[in-house]
Chains A and B, each alone.
Chain A
Amino acid sequence: MTLWFVFALMTVAAIFAVLWPLGRSARVQNQGSEVVVYKDQLTEIERDLASGLIAAPEAAAARVEISRRLLAAASSETVSEPTSSLKWRRTAAVLALVGLPLVAIGVYMPLGSPRLQDFPLAQRERGSGSGMARSLENLVVQVEQHLEKNPADGRGWNVLAPVLQRLGRFDDAVRAYRNSLTYNGESPERRSDLGEAISAAAGGVVTAEAKTEFERAHALDADDPKANYFLGLAAEQDGRKDEAATIWRALLAKAPADAPWRPLVQSSLARVGGGTMPALSDETIAASKDMSEGDRGAMVRGMVERLATRLKQNGDDVEGWLRLVRAYLVMGDRDKAVGASSDARQAVAKDGERLRQLNEGLKTLGLDG
């Protein structure tokens, strides 16, 4: 309510600014004219002459010139009677009284958000979460802020890292796991988690860097399941399928019967052709069928995000950009699609051929440059 009261006061002040001169009776004002200026100039010449800045003949010439202009100005100056047109004054008053509020409200209403309260930092820190989205992102930001100030807090990094991993911020997750290792000390789990984050950042490829981490974890604990699984995956990606099968078979042999990762390893084993088990256990198929709409959406979003991160590092890939734009369009996020296409243009701007390809691709997607 106070807000509308303030608005009303401001509007009244604005209207008053227009009405005030209209209401005042016309009085003769001290206004400048040509004649005044020329008279001032004549006194100026006398002053220059007195201080010796100009010589007498020059002063005389200037005086003649200005006097000539003064005469011309005086004769052409019509003494204009100040008129007062009541009709127009009334119109102006109506314009202010009606038009001004109308324009103000008409422009403000569609743009402004009168119902939103201010939300300064001070209020936020008092912890009043009203209207505040206490989303996961905000919690992450808070933890990150805390760690920015206390970078040696190992527990904080331990908590943050898996969350970042789940949010798809793999590069940050890598950093967090590294810090966790630095401040919490070595452990096979942390090493293999770090390796997982590195390979996730690389789009699922177990890079040499990631492999080193898994090998370290393996050295610390030969039975660490995650390290073993990924070392197998590394072998598979290198084309050594037999070796992968050996590693995974050994892993399954030692695994407890109720390990949640059993189906995953079994299906991997089946993929490299070393398994006698069915490709997918019945439970897994059932699980993926039961996957809720939200989970599947999250999976898709994670993939798109990974693609975006990769393109940010290496923007030469025209196909990749087009795939990203298409994905955003499918997800119904047109703003992001437009943003991505302009990022893409900037990334390939140096290469005329690629730019042409990109522009054609975008055209077919209906995002006309």
Chain B
Amino acid sequence: MIAESGHYALVLALGLALIQSIVPLIGARLRDDALMNVARSTALAQLLFVGASFVALVMLHVNSDFSVANVYENSHSMKPLLYKITGVWGNHEGSMLLWVSILALFGGLVAAFGNNLPLSLRAHVLAVQAWIASAFYLFILVTSNPFLRIASPPIEGRDLNPVLQDIGLAVHPPMLYLGYVGFSISFSFAIAALMEGRIDAAWARWVRPWTLVAWIFLTLGIAMGSYWAYYELGWGGWWFWDPVENASLMPWLAGTALLHSALVMEKRNALKVWTILLSILTFSLSLLGTFLVRSGVITSVHAFATDPTRGVFILLILCLFIGGSLSLFAGRATSLKQGGLFAPISREGALVLNNLLLTVACAVVLFGTLYPLAMEMLADFKMSVGAPFYNLTFAPLFTLLLLAVPFGPMLAWKRGDLLGVTQRLLAAGVAGLVVVAIVWAWTRGGSALAPLAIGLGVFVIAGAVTDLVERTGLVRLPFATVLHRTRGLPRSAWGSALAHAGLGVALIGIVCETTWNSEYIATMKQSDVAHVAGYDVKLDGLFQRQGPNYREMIAEFNVSRDGEALSVMTPSKRSFTTRGSSTTEAALLTRGASQLYISLGDANAEGAIAVRIYHKPLVLLIWWGPVLMAFGGVLSLSDRRLRVGAPKPARAKQRLQPAE
């Protein structure tokens, strides 16, 4: 009964979404409040039913009900409870159900907390949300139904892919989906504005927080996924530029641009049309990501061609929404009211530069992702675009962006003074140069670019600090005033400073890890000692252990440095009988921000085992950076005040005023 009720709840949600996509629009046309309010109650009811459906699937997985095909294919009765639950979204059908659940959640949030929106805007937004939802409900029900049954249930399931039986999977996809789907809200707002033919100030007031929420989750989701790949895949790599990763990076780049342009719009009433376009593009890229990951087109274009139902369906959704929204944009954008003006050198101008660089970087990633697919499809020629391509294209763009980051927040709105800002950033620049010199003198090895890149990272962090110092008037003003100004400083200012500093932190981590990591790969026997980056790693022995649904071979290593014992590390290799595959569980030893990383290869008959040991200096900074960025986002989000950007008065007027 759970299975069929969950199935029926999903069907009802489809019915409600269909009503929600039509009735409120008619209401908005007729200015009928009751009809417009249908959007609200149906959105909430939709959330209820999809939520029930999702809970039903979770219960089926927990109960190991193998009469449901999805459970049979992806679960096993002996799997630990946690992985029974996370297995729900560890497969295609379940993860699509999670996708629509989150979509319904966002729709429900707009319905519940959208009281301060103009009624017709809310009706339009929710109707657009319902279009997206209807399309995806249909997709799930027709091509990837998680509730299909098996008449004579098998006694045991086929187990979840062992690589996915990990705590990282418990957190990563929901985060990522909250990010992807969160951008649907700004998309719906953009389409609603285009349909209504006007963007008012309430629009911008709403879009920024929603974009920020999505961006926070996407940032954490990407960081989480990268860390998961780092410790679970056993190669110590944290970013591979593979299409699945790019699929999440592209919406992030576009979303970051959107975040900044939405800010300009809220504060200064400018860049309206561009913000609308970015909203559309960001969500389109999210859809594209869903298509790339979910259609199987990446694994093999040919495999996609043999079972095309899913892929073609998503492609259809993709074309419908992207094509539809862009043509609507082309038709209506000119009729939108243009916003405020600004000089090229101003905060607005800096944010336009930020948008420009981010979108070009995004386009580069898009090209790198789609080009190999196109080649395989058209020329039947398999190729991959990897790090060398991105080092040549993506890296310079981001270098430019990072150079510009400290300048942005310090320029005045409307018209800025570049020279003045440069003077104020002098300290930060000097700090960066000093660090370059120190690193250079200290290492005398590795790439010549590495110290420069670290200097850039320090410059970005010091720039963020300078910004805070300037705003609070530290050093310059008496202490009491500073305290007063610090208290008055909006949390959003702290947030943006932290987020920008996070960029610098991540950059330092990336550079240190790639330039100075040391590795040791060998076959070790018992009591062999490996020397890696000053650590002595001794293999004490190999043990076997029985896990709940796997057998595990554990190697015990004693780690010491200068004769002083530090810790015992136990990497292992797990073999899962049901799927007949195995995973490597790397062991990590964290010292400050650096890590020692051991993963196992195959054992040979004489009891020796292949071992990979890496020392990765400051590697954790790579993920602390994004966490810092997300924390900055949360701070900014917690600041419920309106954002106003006071313009710098024109110069003629300035002369009449006394100096500050």
Interface size grouping (class) on chain A: 35 or more
Residue in contact with B35 in the complex, picked from A7, A92, A124, CB distance below 8 Å: A92
Question: Once the chains bind, are A21 and B41 in contact (CB under 8 Å)?
Answer: yes
Question: Once the chains bind, are B1 and A118 in contact (CB under 8 Å)?
Answer: yes
Residue in contact with B489 in the complex, picked from A11, A41, A53, CB distance below 8 Å: A53
B122 CB to nearest chain A CB (Å)? 8
Complex-state Cα separation, A129 to B326, whole angstroms = 57
Question: Once the chains bind, are B4 and A53 in contact (CB under 8 Å)?
Answer: no
Question: Once the chains bind, are A84 and B32 in contact (CB under 8 Å)?
Answer: yes
Residue in contact with A82 in the complex, picked from B33, B300, B653, CB distance below 8 Å: B33
Question: Once the chains bind, are A369 and B152 in contact (CB under 8 Å)?
Answer: no
Question: Is residue A185 within 8 Å, beta carbon to beta carbon, of the partner chain?
Answer: no
- A82 and B4 in contact, given A34-B202, A121-B77 (Cβ under 8 angstroms): no
Residue in contact with B65 in the complex, picked from A29, A38, A119, CB distance below 8 Å: A119
Task: Determine which residue in B4, B643, B654 has the highest number of CB atoms from chain A within 10 A of its CB, and name it.
Answer: B4
Question: Once the chains bind, are B19 and A96 in contact (CB under 8 Å)?
Answer: yes
- A26 and B34 in contact, given A52-B484, A103-B18, A342-B306 (Cβ under 8 angstroms): yes
Complex-state Cα separation, A197 to B152, whole angstroms = 31
Query: Chain A residues near B647 (CB, 8 Å)?
Result: 58, 61-62, 65
User: Which of B23-31, B220-228, B514-522 lies at the interface with chain A?
Assistant: B23-31
Query: Chain A residues near B11 (CB, 8 Å)?
Result: 103-104, 107-108, 111-112
Complex-state Cα separation, A42 to B647, whole angstroms = 14
- A346 and B32 in contact, given A21-B38, A45-B646, A54-B646 (Cβ under 8 angstroms): no
- A44 and B641 in contact, given A3-B1, A6-B1, A60-B649 (Cβ under 8 angstroms): yes
User: Which of A141-149, A199-207, A255-263 lies at the interface with chain B?
Assistant: A141-149
Complex-state Cα separation, A349 to B305, whole angstroms = 14
Question: Once the chains bind, are B300 and A32 in contact (CB under 8 Å)?
Answer: no
Question: Once the chains bind, are A22 and B38 in contact (CB under 8 Å)?
Answer: yes
Question: Is residue B73 within 8 Å, beta carbon to beta carbon, of the partner chain?
Answer: no
Question: Once the chains bind, are B642 and A10 in contact (CB under 8 Å)?
Answer: no
Question: Is residue B116 within 8 Å, beta carbon to beta carbon, of the partner chain?
Answer: yes
Query: Chain B residues near A103 (CB, 8 Å)?
Result: 11, 14-15, 18
Question: Is residue A128 within 8 Å, beta carbon to beta carbon, of the partner chain?
Answer: no
Question: Once the chains bind, are A57 and B657 in contact (CB under 8 Å)?
Answer: yes
Residue in contact with B642 in the complex, picked from A41, A122, A145, CB distance below 8 Å: A41
Question: Is residue A138 within 8 Å, beta carbon to beta carbon, of the partner chain?
Answer: yes
Question: Is residue A24 within 8 Å, beta carbon to beta carbon, of the partner chain?
Answer: yes
Question: Residue of A at shortest CB range from B299?
Answer: A346
User: Which of A12-20, A216-224, A282-290 lies at the interface with chain B?
Assistant: A12-20
Question: Once the chains bind, are B32 and A89 in contact (CB under 8 Å)?
Answer: yes
Question: Residue of B at shortest CB range from A112?
Answer: B7
Interface size on B, residues (CB 8 A): 94
Question: Once the chains bind, are A32 and B644 in contact (CB under 8 Å)?
Answer: no
Question: Once the chains bind, are B1 and A342 in contact (CB under 8 Å)?
Answer: no
Query: Chain B residues near A29 (CB, 8 Å)?
Result: 33, 115, 119
Question: Once the chains bind, are A95 and B19 in contact (CB under 8 Å)?
Answer: yes
Question: Once the chains bind, are B16 and A18 in contact (CB under 8 Å)?
Answer: yes
Encode A35-57 as 1/0 by CB contact (under 8 A) with B: 01110110011011011111111
Encode B287-300 as 1/0 by CB contact (under 8 A) with A: 00000000000011
Interchain residue pairs with CB less than 8 A apart (20): A3-B1, A10-B8, A17-B16, A18-B16, A18-B19, A21-B37, A32-B115, A36-B116, A37-B642, A50-B488, A62-B647, A88-B35, A89-B32, A111-B11, A116-B151, A118-B2, A118-B60, A141-B156, A369-B305, A369-B306
Binding site for A on B (CB under 8 A): 1-5, 7-9, 11-12, 14-16, 18-19, 23, 26-27, 30-35, 37-38, 40-42, 44-45, 48-49, 60, 63-67, 77-78, 115-119, 141, 145, 147-149, 151-156, 200-202, 205, 269, 299-300, 302-303, 305-307, 340, 380, 382, 471, 481, 484-485, 487-490, 577, 641-649, 653-654, 657, 660
Question: What 7 pairs across the A-B complex have the smallest Cβ distances?
Answer: A51-B488, A17-B45, A120-B63, A21-B37, A32-B116, A133-B152, A121-B64
